[in-house]
Amino acid sequence: MKLLTEAKTALTKLVFNARHAHARIKKGTVRFKTTDLANFYREMEAAGVACVVLRWADDVPMNAADELSNEHDVDHLIADSQIKIALNLAAVRPGKVKCDYYSASGQSGTSYNGMPYYMPAHAHRILSRRVKDPRGFYRPCPEDEFFAFAYHLCYHKGHRCGIPTGLDAPHDEFPPRDYLAGLQALAETAGFSVADSTTLVELHDRLFESGWSMSNDLMLRWPDQHAFLRALIERDRAACEEDIAAARDLTVFVLRDDCDTPELQEQARKMIAERFTILDELILDTDARNRLMSQTRGGNWIEKYRPEPVQPVIAIMCRDAPEQGPLPIAMSAAKLAKRYPHLKKTDVLIKRVIRDHINSIAPLDNDRVVLHATDNPLETVETLRAILGDKSTAFLALHGVQAQ
């Protein structure tokens, strides 16, 4: 019996390692076909795993009969620090129900083509505010469940969800599920309303106003550039075309709370000033921090070694040098283009030199990211709007390139 148990444990570890390695190689998320979800969720809770069923929670098959008739995936969101625990528990329950697992910050093997499935600030909110379903698993609280599903329809499904786009992109007439009805049911539970005539662009605007939209810099990098997403990117770009032109010689650096002493902040500031002219500096209040984390990708704002998001603390607004200096890092042109396809000017890569320097003079168990920087004028505009709100236009009028 002992040998049989040991063999089963060894096989479980082999399956887990193989599945997880395959997902990492493919830059996707690991999938396990699972059975007995009722006990699986009990074991997850007993192990202290922060996990939620992301959507269609009412359809989760919780008994053998439901498993046989189930035709849909069950998507889960998991805290970064508990990925291996959750996947090890999933690996020992081979069955029929297809279960996918995404981590809060898109860790390798639990991402969507190398990207976090949700903006990490949103993912952290979903996990921290989760509620327990009477059937034994956790789901987002009603407000978060509505916004998370709306996010899924706008940016993951797009025109394929069957909701008219409201832009120059046709929608599918016969989606596999009634996504609008599902959204309306969640809206009613959360105390919201969604009209039968709603469009995806209206849904995007609602998400933006509620701090739940996908940031433009993440849209540009999203692996699935579907028709609605492309149309949305172009609409938003056209709406701020003048600001983008004004910001073409500006870059914003944002110091994070892992650059955690005045001395380290001064080191970062001095190194930025070697390549840029610092125009202004702002200590970020709570509202500005929250806007930045929900409206910009910012390297994701979540690190796997910390249960809470890394906060942005100081914004440093800069003017670019008239001529770019030597490439701050050793990298071939081909690798540079692949790694930074949206980079406008190479001086911004001084951020990598600053990170290395800070980590060398103040090492921790985990390397600090220290700071983020905008890669192009569109990101600069988006970041300035998140930091300054309505005052961003005045900043650009004062410091930006003026139209001739």
CATH of the domain at 363: 3.30.70
Return the pLDDT at 41. Answer: 96
Question: 201 and 69, same structural domain?
Answer: no
Return the pLDDT at 98. Answer: 93
Please state, in angstroms and rounded to a whole number, the distance separating the CA atoms of residues 113 and 115. Answer: 6
Question: 16 and 105, same structural domain?
Answer: yes
Return the pLDDT at 404. Answer: 43
Question: 186 and 310, same structural domain?
Answer: no
Q: What is the domain range of residue 211?
A: 141-239
Question: 89 and 212, same structural domain?
Answer: no
Side-chain-side CA neighbours of residue 375 (13 Å): 17
Return the pLDDT at 91. Answer: 85
Return the pLDDT at 214. Answer: 92
How crowded is residue 97: how many other Cβ atoms within 10 Å of its Cβ?
Answer: 21
Total number of residues shown for the chain: 404
Side-chain-side CA neighbours of residue 347 (13 Å): 20
Q: Determine, yes or no, domain membership for 244.
A: no
List the end-to-end C-alpha distance of the chain, in Å, as a whole number: 83
Question: 272 and 231, same structural domain?
Answer: no
Phi, psi of 29 (to 5 degrees): -115, 150
Contact 203, 154 (CB under 8 A): yes
Please state, in angstroms and rounded to a whole number, the distance separating the CA atoms of residues 123 and 115. Answer: 13
pLDDT in tens, 321-374: 999 999 999 888 888 888 888 899 999 999 999 999 999 999 988 899 999 999
Q: What is the pTM of this model?
A: 0.86
Residues of the chain scoring pLDDT < 70: 1-28, 298-300, 304, 403-404
Question: 60 and 1, same structural domain?
Answer: yes
Side-chain-side CA neighbours of residue 320 (13 Å): 24
Please state, in angstroms and rounded to a whole number, the distance separating the CA atoms of residues 95 and 244. Answer: 52
Q: State which of 189, 211, 239 marks the end of a domain.
A: 239
Question: 323 and 210, same structural domain?
Answer: no
Burial class (CB in 10 A: 0-12, 13-18, 19+), 196: exposed
Return the pLDDT at 25. Answer: 59
Return the pLDDT at 6. Answer: 53
Beta bridge partners of residue 25, listed in sequence order: none
